[in-house]
């Protein structure tokens, strides 16, 4: 019964027997956790970007709605003012004619 035990040195500097390197297992776990952390970070960043885009769109919509409302109100006010101004202008013309 001749069994050979291999002693190997892993790339992380420790020795192991028969390909049972604990460093590899630990580092694979670390890599997995790092990948998981990176994925979580990327997902968070994407969610934040989506939220920011939604907020910007909502702000733009609100601003557009406010601008449209203001424009409609301004147009109505302008029309009323124009009518009043026209009346005033007519009165001024009449007054001017009376003075002359």
What does pTM read for this prediction? 0.37
37 compared with 90, residue with greater pLDDT: 37
Q: Which residue bears the tokens 């907020």?
A: 55
Q: What is the pLDDT of residues 2-59, one digit of tens each?
A: 566 666 676 666 666 555 566 667 767 777 777 888 888 999 999 999 999 999 999 9
Residues 6+ apart with CB under 8 A from 24: 10, 12
Say what the pLDDT of residue 28 is: 74
Tell me the backbone φ, ψ of residue 75, rounded to 5 degrees: -60, -45
Say what the pLDDT of residue 33 is: 79
């Amino acid at each position: 019964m001749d069994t050979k035990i291999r002693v190997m040195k892993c790339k992380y500097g420790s020795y192991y027997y028969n390909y049972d390197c604990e460093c590899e297992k630990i580092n694979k776990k670390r890599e997995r956790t790092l990948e998981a952390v990176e994925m979580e970070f990327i997902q968070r960043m994407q969610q934040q970007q989506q939220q920011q885009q939604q907020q910007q769109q909502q702000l733009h919509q609100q601003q557009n709605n406010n601008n449209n409302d203001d424009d409609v109100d301004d147009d109505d006010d302008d029309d009323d003012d124009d009518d009043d101004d026209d009346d005033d202008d007519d009165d001024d013309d009449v007054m001017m004619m009376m003075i002359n």
